[in-house]
Amino acid sequence: MQPVHVGVGPVTPAQVVAVARGGAPVELTGEALDAIDRARAVVERLAAAPTPAYGVSTGFGALATRHIPAERRRDLQRSLVRSHAAGSGPEVEREVVRAMMLLRLSTLATGRTGVRRETARLLADLLTHGITPVVREHGSLGCSGDLAPLSHCALALMGEGQVRDASGASLPAAQALAAAGLAPVELAEKEGLALINGTDGMLGMLLLSLHDLRVLLRTADVAAAMSVEAQLGTDRVFAEDLQALRPHPGQAASAANLRALLADSGVVASHRTPGQGVQCDRVQDAYSLRCSPQVHGAARDTLDHAATVASRELASAIDNPVVLPPDGDGPGRVESNGNFHGAPVGYVLDFLAIAAADVASIAERRTDRFLDRARSHGLPPFLADDPGVDSGLMIAQYTQAGIVSELKRLAVPASVDSIPSSAMQEDHVSMGWSAARKLRRAVDGLGRVLAVEVMAGARALELRASTGSTAGVAPAAATGAVVRRLRAAGVGGPGPDRHLSPEIEACVDLVQSGAVLAAAEEQIGELA
């Protein structure tokens, strides 16, 4: 696997995913090492000066007024990391911790933090060797950075705390470092603070969620197309000239996807003209069918806004205090600032949770229409084989509804909350980490809701093809390919009731992995 090279410029979202999920090794560039050395020289000059400098020769937070003598400063850094590694609860996922480590390394590489090159190199080595510190879920307020989660990572650099090796085994950090031929570092002035004072945890989760949502929002268009088609809806409302009357880019993209997905559908064509084929007596389709591009499109535009914020964060050097290297004849300086506040990231994390909840909500409404004989236009109740004896997908919709209800709770913003900390020195915090944690659950829930809709759509399309006036009529190429992909993966079609949970989980895997989307795109090309 090709290594990700970390330089003074920002890493890309694709590189974050490659390291976090793909296990890509990491290397610092020579340019980054030179920038690190220049910033370190500034810190060492201030450390030798008699005047106190925050983060270099003083305490932290509410204890910033205490000047620390030179002989205690390494104790200061060590104590900072140990005391701040105060997380509690379940382990944070490996991919999140690796993303957080890479993003912190990227900031170190800008030459704005004042760490030594050996400290930055060790962080890169942990990523390369697959050594992942054990980070606990609770502990970050999203201000002064993700202090507790990053402290658990910094603790591993000191050879302390628990980690998981590349195989996933849990062991003491010192043992894992030794097995990899690595030596722990003794943190020098400012290094402990530089390792823990960033928004890297919440940003890492934002980037991973953006990656997943780009797949899921296109898959939502696939699911909606299957619902429109199998519920004998019209594709005329997705026409380009109608969508242009409201020029939101996400709406236009979603509608274009729906047109492509439904192109040449025999099912849609069978009832396009009143009096031909299936009886067509509806003036308008329900909102959940007709307004799919408007809802999916708004979510897409929200995602694009969040991606813009993420790109700015990737280009940031977040630390407090921050090192401003020599400029011309100036000596360089270390300055306090508030760039560690997580509000910009927290807001969009919350915004995306709202979008995920609404896309899931409209998908559940489309699914419910399949199951109600009064609204499904000739499909059997609950898509059951022998209604009354069989329940079909009745309880699959219950599962959807339960998840959608949870997503609505997860859509309540975390970023409007603030609990003062550090003896009122840190009196307004972002709760961005909490916003990120709930967004991850929301993204997972959205994938599960879409999976049930895809299952229902596939079953309904097969029922249309085998019974009634649409018997023998072919679906669109893209939706037909999705049905075949599900069947190849063991997600069964119409028939007597059977144990449904394994099939739902198989469909969830197909949706979240992008396999459903790929099946459609193999027929009609890449969706917008």
Residues designated catalytic:
54
Cβ-contact 149, 92 below 8 angstroms: yes
Gap between the terminal Cα atoms of the chain: 29
Using CA atoms, how far apart are residues 258 and 453, in angstroms rounded to an integer?
16
Cβ-contact 215, 514 below 8 angstroms: yes
CA angle, 116 then 118 then 119, to 5°: 70
Using CA atoms, how far apart are residues 493 and 491, in angstroms rounded to an integer?
7
* Sheet containing 170-172: order of strands: 132-133, 162-164, 170-172
Of residues 287, 216, 223, the one with CA closest to residue 460:
223
Of residues 191, 198, 214, the one with CA closest to residue 14:
214
Cβ-Cβ contacts under 8 Å for 357 (sequence gap 6 or more): 404, 407, 408, 410, 411, 442
Tokens for 206, please give them.
Answer: 């934002």
Using CA atoms, how far apart are residues 384 and 389, in angstroms rounded to an integer?
9
Cross-strand bridge partners of residue 164? 132, 170
Cβ-contact 290, 235 below 8 angstroms: no
Cβ-Cβ contacts under 8 Å for 364 (sequence gap 6 or more): 397, 400, 401, 404, 449, 452, 453
Tokens for 131, please give them.
Answer: 């050594």
Amino acid at position 215, single letter: V
Tokens for 285, please give them.
Answer: 């389709």
Cβ-contact 313, 384 below 8 angstroms: no
Query: Three-class SS of residue 481?
Result: helix
DSSP state of 55: T
Tell me whether residue 310 is exposed, middle or buried, using C-beta atoms within 10 angstroms of its C-beta: 0 to 12, 13 to 18, 19 or more.
buried
Tokens for 238, please give them.
Answer: 């997705």
How many other β-carbons are positioned within 10 Å of the β-carbon of residue 49?
Answer: 11
Cβ-contact 506, 489 below 8 angstroms: yes
